[in-house]
Structure 1
């Protein structure tokens, strides 16, 4: 960006970018407005980074699971030097518990660089993905499968304190879906000489409300009855924009409908708030949740039997 631009010129450039981005439709108007305000603040050369703002940067890095202790300390120092903030590091000693997955974190910046390059060039990538398992009575990190994953990368995004790769993963030539991989469990990223063929625009705000807890599964429309006292939890999960037609059933309960949401994500949310909510529709998902409850009731000393007739 040209440093000789005045503030109005910079604002117009940001406004032009935001409004022309084909990924933003009319439903994102409020998001665009917030983005403009943020960019105007960020581009104001007269503003100084305050201690509070510096602490915000440091806290994000400190709680990240993407870097080891040395990586966190170096990045905090680099950011403070870059923004010319001379205050003493808020964290005199970054306490850090070592874990088995940490062996892969030193390569995280390189992996992110490769993924971003592949996204720009619209190339397929490959990588190994890891998971925890118990080996010889010890918790160990092992490959989730022997072969590498081959995916079409779309975006990187934060969700619930973790950093994710959003991508298209094909099981075979005729079957595939959008799936989310945690960056801290990825290793050996390689850019392949193969172009993306399943082009999709991923908007991060929409994505996090669509794939609840980043579960990739069938997309469904649902209707839920919820205790009025738990509305805040629902809005945090599904997004304020999904509650335009919320209905007050009585003084204690509300009903609302959510469109285009992950089936598995809904199941986990309903089970989490089981005492406070009831899934009303669709019928097949309601029956699936019912069967899960019945199947697991015995673990808690309850004798439930499945009524195959269903309601």
Structure 2
């Protein structure tokens, strides 16, 4: 028998039809498949479509047929991602403060194409679960990409940095002067993305909110500060930093109630030392970058925690307590 019409794109359209219209709960019969192909101006015999369904496996699309009554029903199985996994990705994108609302929606639309139209509806419902505040910097995608490129090419970056004014307008810091930084890593802390880099002029490690960086350029200059990062574990560094604010790294001894054991493990990981002190109390020695943010974290835990040493950190806590007392009295 002669071939049907518009055969050139038949396999492509068949893959599209099966992926969009079938999943573990939704099937198509051969007559239904033929009707959908006809919408694209493609006519084909059953025998050729059976063969094409097998050929889809060569494209990584596995189609399974199950007999129900007189007919076989076909559906796509073993997709690259399970629906539950994609829901996690959607939720992570939606809850990421550093991705704008528009970019979040665009990413999620792309993820929806990885499942059937029926499963895509469940992902759409997932989108509206949380109305979190999102960044307004649309260039963050390209900023992150430029940072990764600079790191892989061992080059510095130049960028402008802004802050929000009381009029809700962007104001460039340092009068619009470009920052010239050696990038060494990216860290996600407190729902924000941070560049961790070396400032040669200040001769120290600094952090910058990626969503507040503008007009980034990869410099021709080689990176500096390697000696500061050779022994630096970025995950460990982020754990010791509170709110990605700098400070002097110190071994701080904390006394906590037993109710805070979980808090310590959540913050510092399972390797944190928790030493019994007396009934209901433990001693927890931790290395942290002591800053006002660290002291604020201790404050937030109330009378269930106490800084025991070193003396200078205890004194900082006293001064901070007195400052707050004066401010509110």
TM over 0.5: yes
Rounded Cα–Cα distance in structure 2 between residues aligned with 1:252 and 1:98: 40
Q: Structure 2: 5+ residue runs without aligned partners?
A: 1-77
Residue 225 of structure 2, aligned match among 184, 198, 211? 198
- Would the aligned equivalents of 1:248 and 1:255 in 2 still touch at CA under 8 Å? yes
- Would the aligned equivalents of 2:83 and 2:115 in 1 still touch at CA under 8 Å? no
Deviation at 1:289, TM superposition (A): 1.1
TM-score normalised to the size of structure 2? 0.67
Q: How does 1:1-311 map to 2 (within 5 A)?
A: 48-81=80-113, 83-84=114-115, 86=117, 87-89=119-121, 90-91=123-124, 102=136, 105-134=137-166, 138-146=167-175, 147-170=177-200, 172=201, 175-199=202-226, 200-201=229-230, 202-243=232-273, 246-259=274-287, 261-264=288-291, 265-301=293-329
Deviation at 1:205, TM superposition (A): 2.1
Q: Greater Rg, structure 1 or structure 2?
A: 2
Q: Which residue of 1 aligns with 2:21?
A: none
Deviation at 1:112, TM superposition (A): 1.3
> CA 1:69 to 1:295, structure 2 compared with 1: closer, same or farther past 3 Å?
closer
CA offsets per residue over residues 28-77 of structure 1, 9 Å max, x none? xxxxxxxxxxxxxxxxxx67422211100001111122333221111112
Secondary structure in 2 matching 1:242: coil
Rounded Cα–Cα distance in structure 1 between residues aligned with 2:252 and 2:103: 43
- Would the aligned equivalents of 1:212 and 1:237 in 2 still touch at CA under 8 Å? no
- Would the aligned equivalents of 2:97 and 2:132 in 1 still touch at CA under 8 Å? no
- Would the aligned equivalents of 2:264 and 2:272 in 1 still touch at CA under 8 Å? no
Q: Which residue of 2 aligns with 1:25?
A: none
Secondary structure in 2 matching 1:223: strand
Rounded Cα–Cα distance in structure 1 between residues aligned with 2:84 and 2:310: 46
Q: Structure 1: 5+ residue runs without aligned partners?
A: 1-45, 302-311
- Would the aligned equivalents of 1:124 and 1:194 in 2 still touch at CA under 8 Å? yes
CA offsets per residue over residues 260-286 of structure 1, 9 Å max, x none? x21115323222224221111111111
Deviation at 1:292, TM superposition (A): 1.4
TM-score normalised to the size of structure 1? 0.71
CA offsets per residue over residues 183-210 of structure 1, 9 Å max, x none? 1111111111110121124533212212
Deviation at 1:239, TM superposition (A): 2.1
Rounded Cα–Cα distance in structure 2 between residues aligned with 1:195 and 1:156: 18
CA offsets per residue over residues 185-236 of structure 1, 9 Å max, x none? 1111111111012112453321221212211121111101112111211222
Rounded Cα–Cα distance in structure 1 between residues aligned with 2:284 and 2:131: 43
CA offsets per residue over residues 103-134 of structure 1, 9 Å max, x none? xx221111111111000011110112222331
CA offsets per residue over residues 57-101 of structure 1, 9 Å max, x none? 0011111223332211111122343x45652142357586888x6
- Would the aligned equivalents of 1:69 and 1:96 in 2 still touch at CA under 8 Å? no
- Would the aligned equivalents of 2:182 and 2:199 in 1 still touch at CA under 8 Å? yes
Rounded Cα–Cα distance in structure 2 between residues aligned with 1:126 and 1:271: 37
Consecutive aligned runs of 4 or more in structure 1 exceeding 4 Å deviation: 83-86, 92-99
- Would the aligned equivalents of 2:97 and 2:133 in 1 still touch at CA under 8 Å? no
